[in-house]
Amino acid sequence: MNHQTTPHGAFLMVLLANAGFAFKGIFAKLALASGITLGGMLMLRIALAMPLYWIAARTLTRAAAPLSGRDWRDGLLIGLLFTLATVADFIAIDRLGAGPSRMLLFTYPLMVQLLVAWRARRWPTRRELAVFVVCYGGLALLFAPRGLAGDLGPAGWIGIACGLVSAASYACFLVWVQDTARRIGSARCTALTNTSTFLVFCGYALLGAAPADFAIPVEGFGWVALMVVIATVLPFLLLFEGIRHTGAARASLIALSGPVITLVAAWAILDERLLPLQGLGLVLIIGAIGYLQLGGDALARLVRRLRPSARPDSGRAIR
């Protein structure tokens, strides 16, 4: 039976994927608290994830044609963009802290919009720009209490540069992965792109890892395993499948829910405070994403249904 993915289903896939990704930081913080090093956590994460990626790819694409040399080349090269985004993001977190680095990383939807518009030789639509402005206003409110304080030294400027590199790399990854995902399927594309990350960290394990990176406490192993399943493998599969049906531009805007989910999870699990100003930002982002999903036409139909006294032809004035 051929199951068709509806626009609402694609929206839900991308939203759930970003919810899973949002918990990655929570699991990482719990794992690091157990004594595992950052390098050890990253190596263990990709080592546990790789078999799951390829098992999923094999299970979901049994009848598919074998991967060609072009498929391997494209998947591995596109995966390098994601690896670069990940490494640069962690450097930004180290130099600037979590709040400012998140703000820099989440400039990537604008870069995605510019890339998509450039490829299509068009300007972003007014609706896309409106959603973008409202979402970024909400993000500014969410992270305003964590803004940069004091003068920036060389480390701060390096962190800013790495944050922008991470955002640009991730935007390019989201845009250029679409063609490969459509051609070979989301499951195999996920496995291929993450193989690049695996190979990079194999090189790190052989050439740059410290002995402490290989000292993995049992508790840390458990948190990393949860991170792999809940916040890595399943979200990647959902994200690629959602992007196939909704496109990178809309997926990047839906992904703005990620910081909100992280903030709420940190408040509920790690007892971090949710300030009123951050709550306002949360409302703005959820409202903007709701408008992105419903669209102006759907809102107009809803208004007409809520006006029983209107004449049958009065709906023509609503656009």
Rounded distance between C-alpha atoms, residue 192 and residue 174, angstroms: 15
Model pLDDT, residue 253: 64
Model pLDDT, residue 97: 63
Classify residue 258 as exposed, middle or buried by CB count within 10 Å of its CB (0-12, 13-18, 19+): buried
Half-sphere exposure of 4 (CA within 13 A, CB side): 2
Does residue 18 contact residue 257 with C-beta atoms inside 8 Å? yes
Does residue 139 contact residue 285 with C-beta atoms inside 8 Å? yes
DSSP annotation string for 30-92? HHHHTT--HHHHHHHHHHHHHHHHHHHHHHHTTTSPPPPHHHHHHHHHHHHHHHHHHHHHHHH
Residue in the structure block whose two tokens are 């291929």? 192
Model pLDDT, residue 288: 74
- Between the two ends of the chain, the Cα-to-Cα distance in Å is 39
Model pLDDT, residue 217: 93
Is 2 within a domain? no
Q: Is 137 helix (H, G, I), strand (E, B) or coil?
A: helix
Is 319 within a domain? no
Is 115 within a domain? yes
> Residue 98, Cα to own-chain centre: how many angstroms?
16
Rounded distance between C-alpha atoms, residue 191 and residue 85, angstroms: 17
Half-sphere exposure of 196 (CA within 13 A, CB side): 21
Task: Tell whether pTM > 0.85.
Answer: no
Other CB atoms within 10 Å distance of the CB of residue 217: 13
Is 310 within a domain? no
Domain that holds residue 63: 7-304
Residues 6+ apart with CB under 8 A from 191: 50, 53, 54, 56, 57, 75
Is 287 within a domain? yes
Q: What are phi and psi of 173, to 5 degrees?
A: -60, -50
Other CB atoms within 10 Å distance of the CB of residue 51: 12
Model pLDDT, residue 214: 93
Is 111 within a domain? yes
Domain count, the chain: 1
Torsion over CA: 190, 204, 47, 268 (sign) = negative
Model pLDDT, residue 13: 81
Rounded distance between C-alpha atoms, residue 141 and residue 283, angstroms: 10
Is 316 within a domain? no
Rounded distance between C-alpha atoms, residue 315 and residue 134, angstroms: 27
Which of these, 238, 214, 194, lies nearest to 50 by C-alpha position?
Answer: 194
pLDDT 10s per residue in the chain (319 long)? 445 556 677 778 888 888 888 787 778 778 888 898 888 988 998 999 999 988 888 887 777 788 888 889 988 999 999 899 887 877 776 676 666 676 677 777 777 777 887 888 887 777 778 877 887 787 777 666 554 334 456 777 787 788 889 888 988 998 888 888 888 887 888 888 889 999 999 999 999 889 999 999 999 999 999 989 998 888 877 876 777 666 666 666 676 677 777 777 777 776 766 667 777 877 787 677 667 655 555 444 434 443 444 443 333 322 2
Cα separations in angstroms, 303 against 128, 134, 263 = 22, 22, 33
Is 309 within a domain? no
